[in-house]
Amino acid sequence: MTADPDKVFQQNGNDGNARLMRSATYAAVGVALILIAIKLFAYFATNSVAMLSTLVDSLLDLVASFINLVAVRHSLVPADRDHRFGHGKAEALAGLFQSAIITGSSVFLLFQAGERLLNPKPLAAESIGIIVMVVSIGLTIGLVVYQRFVIRRTRSVAISADSLHYVGDVLINGGVIAALILSSYFQWHYADGVFGILIALVLIYSAWQIMRASFADLMDEELGDEDRETIKAIVLKQPGVLGIHDLRTRRSGQQVFMQMHIDMDGRISLRDAHTISDAVEARLMAEYPEAEPIIHQDPIFVENEAENRSGDD
């Protein structure tokens, strides 16, 4: 029977991470709803395709953020009998779904902006549009700052994906302001279509970045070189460990899985070898609280222990 998502991460301080992740998803949904309301008003007031593009983007943000909310809650459910490695990949699946939605809508925006570029039209009530965009930028920056804080604490793939397209929103909203100013004060009516196309291209690029990060998680891509070197250094600091090899790592949502072989003096007792392995595991989890290390002990027979401490894979 699957556990309640609200009763997760009760060990190693991860319950705090779970609360942060959930709060970030709620904040994203709330901001998206506010942005949709004010941009809808601005679009009807201005008749700007650039404004339409940022309205559609905010609708996508709402869908993506709601998907994230559901996916994050599911990914935080601890491992059960049917999912021994937990539910962390739900975050990556949500990221793929987001990228597909964003890509499809961006293609639609390209056609709309292309039509406006071929048939430019004067805009109306540009000042209203500019005010709405300034408010949108302020709200979005506030959300992104909070998301970045949560990402630093949790390393969440889903929230990273969500934050990525909100960062793009800041640029998009700035582009809409530029289009409105150029059309209103400089009578360059092509600006609306040009910036609409640029916004669509930014969205497509954001979708590609989200997709790439999601595939890295789903395909069990290794942790970065910096993390791998940190893991090796932590293991080799433990007295009694002579070397480490066959290190394999992957990330699944909040969890990091590590598998490795460590070399120890073959003359020590099984009890001592087990004690050393437990100490290595404790060191790793102190640095990576979300980790699940699997350690295999290899006996070696050496004359000079100092000459054999290495970090070869």
pLDDT (tens digit per residue) in 88-105:
677 777 778 878 877 877
- Tokens linked to 95: 């990221």
Q: Is the pLDDT of residue 28 over 80?
A: yes
Read off the pLDDT band of 243 (50, 70, 90). very high
In terms of pLDDT, which residue wins out, 210 or 126?
A: 210
DSSP state of 250: E
The yes-or-no verdict on residue 12 having pLDDT over 50 is no
- pTM over 0.75? The answer is no
Residue with tokens 């809808």: 40
**Strand spans (E) along the chain:** 243-252, 255-265, 291-300
The answer to whether 42 and 132 have CB atoms below 8 angstroms apart is yes
Give the angle 111-116-122 at the CA atoms, nearest 5°. Answer: 160
* Nearest C-alpha neighbor of 25 from the set 96, 74, 57, 73: 73
pLDDT value at position 220?
A: 74
Residues of the chain with pLDDT > 90, as a percent, come to: 22
Token pair recorded at residue 138: 């302020």
Where does the pLDDT of residue 122 fall: very low under 50, low under 70, confident under 90, or very high at 90 and above? low
> Would the pLDDT of 142 be above 90?
yes
Provide the pLDDT confidence category of residue 303 given band limits of 50, 70 and 90: low
- Give me the count of residues in the chain: 313
Q: Tens digit of pLDDT for each residue in 76-87? A: 666 667 666 666
Instruction: State the Cα–Cα distance between residues 236 and 309, nearest whole angstrom.
Output: 7
Residue 169 has pLDDT above 70, yes or no: yes
Contact criterion met (CB below 8 Å) for 140 and 173: yes
Question: Above 80 in pLDDT, residue 305?
Answer: no
Q: Please give the residue that has the higher pLDDT: either 142 or 66.
A: 142
Continuous segment of H or E residues that includes residue 192? helix 190-218
